[in-house]
């Protein structure tokens, strides 16, 4: 199955993540059933890593990250 992966930032999400933040976002998205691929964005020194998700799940992934950034509990209702 060839999945079209796109960067999370393509959806207008402003992300400048440290290595730790990148890992936590990856974990968060995977916990929500979204396939995640992390690549080094070497051409952009201020963004050491880029998070890629399937294009079909881009909007969902952005919403999950935005909710997390705002400190909202995830939809699943699981305790953090």
- Tell me: the pLDDT tens digits for 57-73? 999 999 999 888 887 55
Helices H / strands E in the chain, number of each = 2, 3
**CA-closest candidate to residue 67, choices 20, 29, 22:** 29
pLDDT attached to residue 73: 55
Percent of the chain past pLDDT 90, that is, above it, reads 38
Alpha carbon distance 20, 59 (integer Å): 23
Residue 8 has pLDDT above 80, yes or no: yes
- State the CB neighbour count (10 A cutoff) for residue 54: 17
Asked which of 5-14, 33-42, 62-71 is least confident by mean pLDDT, the reply is 5-14
pTM of the model: 0.73
Query: How is residue 14 written in tokens?
Result: 């402003």
Beta bridge partners of 7: 52
Report yes or no: 74 and 64 within 8 Å, Cβ to Cβ: yes
């Amino acid at each position: 199955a060839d999945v079209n992966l796109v960067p999370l930032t393509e959806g207008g999400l402003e992300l400048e993540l440290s290595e730790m933040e990148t890992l936590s976002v990856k974990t968060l998205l995977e916990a929500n059933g979204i396939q995640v691929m992390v690549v080094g964005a070497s051409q952009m020194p201020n963004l050491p890593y880029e998070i890629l998700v399937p294009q079909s799940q881009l909007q969902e992934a952005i919403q999950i990250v935005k909710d997390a950034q705002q400190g909202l509990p995830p939809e699943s209702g699981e305790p953090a």
